[in-house]
A and B are shown apart, each in its own frame.
Chain A
Amino acid sequence: MTFGSIAQVAASGLHVGCIYALAALSFYVIHSATGILNFVQGECIMVSAVLGVVLLPWMPYPVAMVLSIGATIVLSLLTERLVIRRLEARQADLFIMILSLLGLMIVVRYGTGALFGQEEYMLPGPAGAGVIEIGNSVFLPYQVILIYVVTALTFAAVHVLSKRTWLGRSLRVAAIDPIGATLIGVNLVRVRVVAFGLGGFIAAMVGWLYAPLYAAGYMVGVVPGVKGFIVMVIGGMASPIGSLVGGITLGLVEVATARYFSSLYSDATAFVVLMGVLFLRPEGLIGAKSRA
Chain B
Amino acid sequence: MPPSGAGSSAGFVGPESALLRRRAAWLGGIAVLLLVPVLVRQPYHITICVNLFITIMLTLSMNFVVGFSGQWSFAHAAFFGAGAYIPAILSTKLGVSPWLGFPIGVACVVGAAMLIGIPIVRLRGYYLAVCTLALGFLTEVFVRQATDITGGGYGIQRIPPLELFGTPLRGAAYYPIALAGVVLTGLLLSNLMRSPLGHAIIATRDNPEAASAAGIDVAGVRLFAFVLAAALAGSAGWIHAFYYLGLDGSILTTDRAFLWMFMVFIGGLGRPAGVVLGTVFLVLAPELLGFFAQNQVLWVGILMLAVALFAPRGFGGLLDAAMLRFRPAGRS
A residues in contact (CB < 8 Å) with B: 37, 83, 86-87, 90, 92, 94-96, 98-100, 102-104, 106-107, 110-111, 113-114, 222, 226, 229-230, 233, 263-264, 267-268, 270-271, 274-275, 278-279, 282, 292
Contacts and interface: CB of A to CB of B under 8 A. Distances in A.
B114 interface: no
A252 B17 CA distance: 66
Chain B interface SS verdict (over half): helix
Given A103-B262, A271-B134, A110 B298 contact: yes
A248 B173 CA distance: 55
Interface in B123-164: 123-127, 129-131, 133-135, 137-138, 141-142, 145-146
Interface in B312-327: 312
B261 A278 contact: no
A145 B291 CA distance: 46
B309 interface: yes
Contact of B255 (A95, A106, A111): A106
B301 A106 contact: yes
Interface in B42-78: 70, 72
Contacts of A100: 305, 308-309
Of the candidates A106, A107, A114, A292, the one having the most CB atoms from chain B within 10 angstroms of its own CB is A106
B119 interface: yes
Q: How large is the interface on B (under 10, 10 to 19, 20 to 34, 35 or more residues)?
A: 35 or more
Given A83-B309, A100-B308, A264-B146, A233 B127 contact: yes
Contacts of A282: 123, 127
Interface of B: 70, 72, 116, 119-120, 123-127, 129-131, 133-135, 137-138, 141-142, 145-146, 255, 258, 261-262, 265, 294-295, 297-298, 301-302, 304-305, 308-309, 312
Given A267-B138, A278-B119, A99 B265 contact: yes
A95 to B, nearest CB: 8
Contacts of A111: 298
Contacts, number: 102
Nearest to A272: B138
A292 B304 contact: no
Contact of B131 (A95, A114, A278): A278
Q: Give the top 8 A-B pairs by smallest Cβ distance, nearest first.
A: A110-B298, A106-B301, A107-B301, A279-B119, A37-B126, A100-B308, A103-B305, A292-B125
Given A99-B261, A263-B145, A278-B120, A268 B295 contact: no
Contacts of A229: 130
Nearest to A102: B258
A226 B134 contact: yes
A264 B147 CA distance: 10
B297 A94 contact: no
Given A110-B297, A264-B142, A230 B120 contact: no
29 contacts: A37-B126, A86-B309, A92-B308, A92-B312, A94-B125, A98-B129, A99-B308, A100-B309, A102-B129, A106-B297, A106-B298, A107-B305, A110-B295, A114-B294, A226-B133, A233-B127, A264-B142, A267-B141, A268-B142, A270-B138, A271-B138, A274-B130, A275-B120, A275-B131, A278-B131, A279-B119, A282-B127, A292-B125, A292-B127
